[in-house]
Amino acid sequence: MTFCEDSINRMLLLLLLTGLTFAVLGFVSPASAQVEDQPSEVHLTWDHDDTAHTIVITWTTKYANSGDTVWYDTTSGGRDPTQYRYSATGSHYAYPDASEYFHEVELTDLTPDTLYYFICRGVNGGYSIERRFQTAPDRSTNITFVAGGDSRTNPQMRDNISQEMATFNPSFVVYTGDAVDNGSIEEEWDNWFTGVDRYWVTEKTDLSIPVIPALGNHEENATLFYDQYGLPGNHRWFSLDWGPDLHLIVLDSYASPAGAERNWLESDLAVHVNTLWKVVFFHQPVFSGGEQGSTVDLQEHWVPLFDKYHVDLVINGHDHDYERTYPINFSVSENSPVSGPERGTVYIVSGGWGAPLYEGSPQWWTAYGPVPIYHFTLIDINPQGTLTLKAIDKDGKVFDEYVIQKNPPVGQNSSPAPLVALVLIGCLVLVVITYSLLRKRLG
């Protein structure tokens, strides 16, 4: 062996030893690798029916000791935790065969209708980029939200729809199920929540858009669904208010419709009977001319409650199309619509967030569709008592629109202008009467 060959061999040995050392250090010391362990799949939900004062932030890391803390404030603090006035610490958990750790933190005592900035994780794993959210209002005001579902196996179209949806700046999305193809596979949820984190951000104000999910059949009733969403109650059926005018109910259409869930539904509707707008969401359609068709069990057990307590809208998925019914009151007629939305409930099928589309045919209840089209449903509510529903395709084109007009409770949302006019007219009448009486006496 020459001197030159000997030197090369020594260098190769040194390189090998160096590489082995780094590999061993990286294996036994997660902290050294955590610099690159960026928080991912950040998403927002609610654990309690208090959307004006609370929010739940969930994210994923590769290591358990990355930290379970959220730093937050009403002004931007960048990536520096010392620049935030508030912090909250939650917990992390994993599964025996999972490759990641899930971190969940609930923020409480927030101010209504307020923009917050936050970063998450902790000193061991580094800090996330800054994100924003806005709490719900505690007064009557304009509301914009989105409903839809059924992305399943087509993440490209799913993300296309998500990006279009975000341009309408909704306060939250109610997702009616089948977000993934198999709810027991962690990689599918990773892909789903990565899409939510990346694309569910409002175009105008850069706010992360919270998700309110319903169980679809493809969620498989899996632990990965329950543990990655902070949700109220049993996570299967629950309700949330958004301000004083909107009551949202999420149901599990795969539980027994006649049992405990129906009892809960009736008591929840009875408590919120006077809320101006009541909208119910679940996966299987009640009325559908699509491939999956209507669900008779739900017509039998839930629809009488929707009739009795006058639910305004029921929004479903499962059929991969769009369909809107005329107002239906099944307790009045089982084969013809009623004359207007003040007498019945409008049922929407909105299953066009990416899964392969289905054909369908109109039925006696059908006002629009069924049409096989990728889309989402946008709902705007204003405090003057107008609800406007729009079905919007992947290019942002509105292809169906429906308006419900109501009289808001007197004194709550009514404009002061008519009252002022009445007082002025009353004063004028008094002046005229007084003047006439005076003229008679003097004359």
Residues in touch with Fe ion (CB under 5 A): 178, 216-217, 318
Minimum Å distance from CB 263 to Fe ion? 25
The structure tokens listed for 21 are: 């050392």
Nearer to Fe ion, 131 or 158 (CB): 158
Closest separation in Å from C-beta 218 to Fe ion: 6
- To Fe ion, the closest distance from the beta carbon of 183 in angstroms equals 11
Q: How far is the CB of 319 from Fe ion (least distance, A)?
A: 8
Task: Output 170 or 216, the one with its CB closest to Fe ion.
Answer: 216
> What is the closest distance, in whole angstroms, from the C-beta atom of residue 400 to Fe ion in the complex?
22
Closest to Fe ion by CB, 214 or 265: 214
- Residue among 359, 280, 272, 291 at smallest CA distance from 315: 280
Q: In whole angstroms, how close is the CB of 139 to Fe ion at the nearest point?
A: 37
Instruction: Report the residue number, 104 or 319, with the smaller CB distance to Fe ion.
Output: 319
Question: How far apart are CB 157 and Fe ion at their closest, in Å?
Answer: 16
Cβ proximity to Fe ion: between 154 and 217 the closer is 217
CB contact at 8 A, 225 and 215: yes
Q: Rounded to whole angstroms, how far apart are CA atoms 361 and 25? A: 63
| Residue 396 Ramachandran class (φ > 0 left, ψ -120 to 50 alpha, else beta) | left
Q: Which is nearer to Fe ion, 226 or 364 (CB)?
A: 226
Beta-bridged to residue 91, according to DSSP, are 104
Q: Please report how close the Cβ of residue 216 comes to Fe ion at its closest, in angstroms.
A: 5
Q: Are 295 and 327 in contact (CB under 8 A)?
A: no
Question: Minimal distance in Å, beta carbon 217 to Fe ion?
Answer: 4
The residue among 289, 312, 276, 319 whose CA lies nearest residue 402 is 312
Tell the smallest beta-carbon distance from residue 219 to Fe ion (Å). 9
To Fe ion, the closest distance from the beta carbon of 284 in angstroms equals 7
C-alpha R_g of the chain: 28
> Would you put residue 348 in left (φ > 0), alpha (ψ -120 to 50) or beta?
beta
Please choose, from the candidates 145, 180, 130, 150, the residue with its C-alpha nearest in 3D space to the C-alpha of residue 51: 145
Q: Minimum Å distance from CB 320 to Fe ion?
A: 8
- Of 217 and 384, the one with the shorter C-beta distance to Fe ion is 217
Kindly tell me which of 320 and 390 has the beta carbon lying closer to Fe ion: 320
Comparison of 39 and 360: residue with beta carbon closer to Fe ion: 360
Nearest residue to Fe ion, by Cβ distance, number only: 318
Sign, CA dihedral 82-86-90-94, equals negative
Q: Pull the structure tokens for residue 249.
A: 């109910």
- Phi and psi for 360 in degrees, rounded to 5? -165, 180
Nearer CB in complex with Fe ion: 66/253: 253
Q: What does the alpha-carbon distance between residue 183 and residue 188 come to, in Å, rounded to a whole number?
A: 7
Given the complex with Fe ion, which of 148 and 216 has the nearer CB atom? 216
Residue pair 166/159 in contact by the 8 Å Cβ criterion: no
Output 66 or 316, the one with its CB closest to Fe ion.
Answer: 316
Q: How far is CA 83 from the centre of its chain?
A: 30
